[in-house]
Amino acid sequence: MPSVLITGATKGIGQAASRVFAAAGYDLALVARNRAALEALADELAASGSRVVLASVDLADASALEARISALYPPGTAPDVVINNAGAAYTGSLVDMPVERWQWLIQLNLTSVLQVCRVVVPLMRTAGGGRIINVSSHAAHNAFPNWGGYCVSKAALASFSRCLAVEERPHGIQVCTLTLGAVNTPLWDSETVDSDFDRRAMLEPTRAAEALLYLAQQPSTQVVEDLTLMPAAGVL
């Protein structure tokens, strides 16, 4: 069976992707902070026949991340697909944003992706290839007042993805982004987000998960470098 690593697996897009990929016949390596939520999801997905392994790790903790991801892969194994989905948001003006919040946001939305790739890319090289999908946002290409930190982190992620794609192409590793408009996930309930958007008009997580599966199942002879999915209502 093909295998997929999904970060932020217990909520929103990550949870929906875990279910969609299990239904499509993938073995799963699921990463999230909450061990109890991971175990509950694993129990649910095991019924589909998928093999599920777990790593409970806070991606905001740079010191622990790489070792915990490495432990998912015994020697000689590698994921076929990696979905860097975990992330966070912060609302507030750039100059008033506490430096510790800036560092936390950049760690979650950008640096943790680098750290995951530091683990999985060498494994993929040895295996002869693979696909990395980074979940981005239309905020990467736009400027929204009081969302500056988030916009910067996603713009950097988009640039990171393009650079990694060029570097790893000779090794048979494809890198792409799923660029999303607003998705109705628990992110909007976060204590760091203040928003009054109409969540009924947002994309549903399952639609994003299906787009991830579409990207993952592209033949090795082609790559969709970026897929943009927006609510029909446009920018909310």
Nearest to 105 by CA among 157, 53, 40: 157
Would 84 be classed as within a structural domain? yes
For the question of residue 150 being annotated catalytic, the response is yes
pLDDT for position 198: 87
Tokens, residue 174: 């494809």
Q: How many domains would you assign to the chain?
A: 1
Phi/psi at 155 (nearest 5 deg)?
A: -65, -40
pLDDT of the residue at 234: 81
Residue 128 belongs to what domain range? Answer: 3-229
Inside any domain, residue 212: yes
Domain assignment present for 110: yes
Please report whether residue 105 resides in a domain: yes
Q: Tell me if 189 is assigned to some domain.
A: yes
Evaluate whether residue 12 is within a structural domain. Answer: yes
Q: How far is CA 42 from CA 15, 36, 64, 150, 196, in A?
A: 11, 10, 22, 30, 33
For position 18, which CATH number holds?
3.40.50.720
Q: What is the pLDDT of residue 22?
A: 97
Per-residue pLDDT of the chain (236 residues; tens, 9 = 90+): 899 999 999 999 999 999 999 999 999 999 999 999 999 999 999 888 889 999 999 999 999 999 999 999 999 999 999 999 999 999 999 999 999 999 999 999 999 999 999 999 999 999 999 999 999 999 999 999 999 999 999 999 999 999 999 999 999 999 999 999 999 998 888 889 988 888 899 999 999 999 999 999 999 999 999 999 999 988 76
Residue 46: what pLDDT?
A: 86
What pLDDT score does 6 carry? 98
pLDDT of residue 225: 97
Given 26, 73, 90, 150, the catalytic residue: 150
Alpha helices by DSSP H, the chain: 12-23, 35-46, 62-70, 99-106, 112-127, 148-168, 205-216
Nearest to 181 by CA among 133, 136, 132, 145: 136
What pTM was estimated for this model as a whole? 0.96
What is the per-residue pLDDT across 1-43, written as a single tens digit (0 to 9) for each?
899 999 999 999 999 999 999 999 999 999 999 999 999 999 9
pLDDT at 10: 96
Kindly state whether residue 153 falls inside one of the protein's structural domains: yes
pLDDT score at 48: 81
Domain contains 225: yes
